[in-house]
Chains A and B, each alone.
Chain A
Amino acid sequence: MKNGEVLLDVKELVQYFPIRRGVLQKVVGYVHAVDGISFDIKRGETLGLVGESGCGKTTTGRSILQLYKPTSGQVIFDGMNLVELNGKKMREERKKIQMIFQDPYASLNPRMTVEEIVGEPLKIHKIVENSEIRNKVKELLELVRLNPAYIDRYPHEFSGGQRQRIGVARALALNPELIVCDEPISALDVSVQAQIVNMLEELQSEMNLTYLFIAHDLSVVKHISDRVAVMYLGVIMEMTSRDELYSNPLHPYTIALLSAVPIPDPEKEINRKRIILEGDVPSPVDPPSGCRFRTRCPLAQEICAKERPEFREVKPGHFVACHLVREITPGVFRAEI
């Protein structure tokens, strides 16, 4: 399969989590974590999935790997619907989809050495002979710019950035096609973040990887992504190419979000007008009717409470879920960057 072909196609993915109460653990409600989202990722590209905490971006990543059983919808990877696969077949497919986690302290077992951590997937999937594992792990460490001499060390002997490199090495062990990067740099020191971002970019071109890059930081997402999807309360609000999203955002939420990001330049900041949204993100247990964003949207109208806006293509490749897209006058409601 060539670059540019669809590698992952997510269709109407829904992921609810039941809330249980009482002695009988009766289901009293659902957390609407992901509520009918559709997107695709083409081979070799990076799709940035951005949103505030609790918007369902991490759940989306985990549902793609079938770490949760999706409530409904399809996750088509390389032509195969992962939702329908049985455990054995899924395990085969999972080799091709790996994950990098946010917290490099919690995602590595403190009682295992680097060799055991990075070698574990090789062992489980019987990729190489047991006698070869050590050499393969050393190769992987070199790939993520870690000294192979560290192979017998434990996680506590490494800094946050180095641990994240170990996590990346583990993800690369099975030679995956798609990597779900779940906030891979947000737990790291500022001066170390750029090292990891640069490495992920280099690895992508060296190994022809496809990334789903999940983050809350719009600046990082802009830096690394080819296309960007903006999530809010379990729904994708807007999705388009990175240049289009950052220069011509159409959804009021995207506009407000971009407007809220500080720019490290006092001359720009001093005159920059911000769109300040009111209130906090509502609870996903009982999300607003109609458009999820309407309770905080400065432009909301009657229709927004009644009907859920369709996620439609308003320009080639530019998808927006908003009733008012055509009525937002550019220049009046816009994000100053």
Chain B
Amino acid sequence: MNGNKKTLLEVKNLETSFSTWEGMVHAVNGVSFKLSEGETLGIVGESGCGKSVTVLSLLRLIQSPPGKIVNGTAFFNGKDLMKMTEKELNEVRGSQISLIFQDPMTFFNPVLTIGEQVMEPLKLHLGVSEADAQARAIEILNMVGISNPEERLKDYPYQFSGGMRQRAMIAMALICSPQILIADEPTTALDVTVQAQIVDLVKKLRDELGMSIIWITHDLGIVAGLVDRVAVMYAGYIVETADVMELYKNPRHPYTIGLLGSLPRLDETERRKLASIDGIPPVLFRSASTCPFAPRCPYRIDRCFNENPMLRNVGDGHEIACWVDVVNHKEQV
């Protein structure tokens, strides 16, 4: 869809691990992806699959110790985020690449007003004067649908409802007009009607401002109507990536197939037994020389326990990490 557009971010072989008392946790194991200008990428996976750690690693927001970015490059506008000095990186964080999070309550400082916090990136990064920052804050709060922003600027976070706080967080993330917005499960804590408001708002802002978005979620429903490409993560690996239409129509990795089959759907008319995936997500203590999904996979073959499959192209930008051609149920070379 965005094949001809300029690549804005290129991540290669990103690897992050955490040392714990029980051993080394390999959270992200060589993740690679590209993000084009104006593109929205969805990273989908269950809790603990490494999706948040992936994007936090991009901005080097992993606390070290215990965390460590072991390997990888992430070129953003021709510069490697992994090699930047802390000062250079601070120019990028919150200004050219900004983040929104799941929990808008813990995100804001409770003793500062919403206005002070929304304006902060502008003053910090661009050295804008108080008066100009305030004018811009009012403009952006208006844009995210907060009515009467002149007054609401003076409010404290506790005076905002959950949905309003999420809007204010988006305003704060967008105030410096970033090129990339990273959204880490921003609607998970919200009710479904408020979630619809926020998704609607982000789509509108994307069209107006033209930024690229990385949207992280566990919900295959939300990304269906929101993103251009999807990357499905499992155990710290991207196991499948494709254009959004292709992924839902022709899922090829057994995990993606399993996830889609296990979802109860609103548009279903027939009653059916949900296709559940056996077992539980793995603990990530080992560095895998086997396919991490093999123990739960209904299509596994011997090879899955001997070699970990790398992502490979199966046509038209559709990549899977699997030894088996699930459609024909035979081994692929």
A binding-site residues for B, Cβ under 8 Å? 52-53, 159-162, 189-195, 197-198, 201, 216-220, 222-224, 246, 256-270, 272, 274, 276-281, 337
Interface residues of B in 271-292 (CB under 8 A from A): 271, 273-278, 280-281
A259 to B273 alpha-carbon distance, docked (Å):
24
| Given A191-B259, A263-B224: A337 in contact with B193 (beta carbons within 8 A) | no
Other-chain residue from B161, B164, B193, B280 in contact with A260 (beta carbon distance below 8 A): B193
Chain A residues, Cβ within 8 Å of B218: 189-190
A263 and B245 form a contact (CB under 8 A): no
A216 to B189 alpha-carbon distance, docked (Å):
12
A280 and B245 form a contact (CB under 8 A): no
A194 to B258 alpha-carbon distance, docked (Å):
10
Least distance between A272 CB and chain B CB atoms (Å): 7
Size of the chain B interface, CB-CB below 8 angstroms = 47
A159 to B296 alpha-carbon distance, docked (Å):
15
| Given A52-B193, A260-B193: A280 in contact with B161 (beta carbons within 8 A) | yes
B46 and A189 form a contact (CB under 8 A): yes
The winner among B46, B164, B267 for most chain A CB atoms within 10 A is: B267
A197 to B193 alpha-carbon distance, docked (Å):
24
A257 and B220 form a contact (CB under 8 A): no
| Given A264-B220, A266-B248: A220 in contact with B264 (beta carbons within 8 A) | yes
Chain A residues, Cβ within 8 Å of B164: 280
Least distance between B106 CB and chain A CB atoms (Å): 17
Chain B residues, Cβ within 8 Å of A222: 264, 266, 268
B87 within 8 A of A: no
Interface residues of B in 244-262 (CB under 8 A from A): 244-245, 248-249, 258-260, 262
Among the listed stretches B7-15, B91-99, B195-203, which one makes contact with chain A, having 4 or more residues with CB under 8 Å of it? B195-203
A274 to B266 alpha-carbon distance, docked (Å):
14
A256 to B192 alpha-carbon distance, docked (Å):
10
B225 within 8 A of A: yes
Interface residues of B in 143-183 (CB under 8 A from A): 161-164
B273 and A262 form a contact (CB under 8 A): no
Other-chain residue from B199, B200, B221 in contact with A264 (beta carbon distance below 8 A): B221
Chain A residues, Cβ within 8 Å of B248: 264-267
A246 to B270 alpha-carbon distance, docked (Å):
12
A261 and B221 form a contact (CB under 8 A): yes
B329 within 8 A of A: no
B281 and A189 form a contact (CB under 8 A): yes
Chain A residues, Cβ within 8 Å of B197: 276-278
A269 to B273 alpha-carbon distance, docked (Å):
24
Least distance between A319 CB and chain B CB atoms (Å): 21
Q: Which 4 A-B pairs have the closest CB atoms?
A: A269-B225, A262-B221, A223-B264, A194-B262
The winner among A263, A266, A276 for most chain B CB atoms within 10 A is: A266
A268 and B267 form a contact (CB under 8 A): yes
Chain B window 28-39, contacts with chain A (Cβ cutoff 8 Å), 1 for yes, 0 for no: 000000000000
A223 and B280 form a contact (CB under 8 A): no
Chain B window 219-234, contacts with chain A (Cβ cutoff 8 Å), 1 for yes, 0 for no: 1111011100000000
Other-chain residue from A159, A193, A276, A337 in contact with B196 (beta carbon distance below 8 A): A276
A195 to B200 alpha-carbon distance, docked (Å):
32
Other-chain residue from B46, B163, B199, B268 in contact with A191 (beta carbon distance below 8 A): B46
A216 to B258 alpha-carbon distance, docked (Å):
23
Chain A residues, Cβ within 8 Å of B274: 194, 197-198, 223
Other-chain residue from A52, A258, A266 in contact with B244 (beta carbon distance below 8 A): A266
B191 within 8 A of A: yes
The winner among B162, B199, B226, B274 for most chain A CB atoms within 10 A is: B274
B266 and A272 form a contact (CB under 8 A): no
B112 within 8 A of A: no
Least distance between B168 CB and chain A CB atoms (Å): 13
A51 — nearest CB in chain B belongs to which residue?
Answer: B191
A159 and B262 form a contact (CB under 8 A): no
A88 to B219 alpha-carbon distance, docked (Å):
46
A266 and B245 form a contact (CB under 8 A): yes
Chain B residues, Cβ within 8 Å of A267: 245, 248-249
A190 and B262 form a contact (CB under 8 A): yes
Chain B residues, Cβ within 8 Å of A219: 221, 263-266
Interface residues of B in 42-99 (CB under 8 A from A): 46-47
Other-chain residue from B225, B277, B278 in contact with A262 (beta carbon distance below 8 A): B225
A195 to B221 alpha-carbon distance, docked (Å):
19
- Can you show 9 pairs from A to B with CB atoms below 8 A apart? A162-B280, A189-B47, A195-B277, A198-B274, A224-B264, A262-B222, A264-B224, A269-B225, A269-B226
Chain A residues, Cβ within 8 Å of B294: none
Other-chain residue from A189, A262, A270, A276 in contact with B219 (beta carbon distance below 8 A): A262
Other-chain residue from A198, A256, A278, A280 in contact with B276 (beta carbon distance below 8 A): A198
A266 and B224 form a contact (CB under 8 A): yes
A264 to B257 alpha-carbon distance, docked (Å):
12
A189-B46, A190-B263, A260-B192 given; 5 more Cβ-contact pairs under 8 Å: A190-B46, A191-B280, A194-B274, A263-B224, A265-B248
A53 and B281 form a contact (CB under 8 A): no
Least distance between A293 CB and chain B CB atoms (Å): 11
A218 and B244 form a contact (CB under 8 A): no
A256 to B271 alpha-carbon distance, docked (Å):
24
B191 and A53 form a contact (CB under 8 A): yes
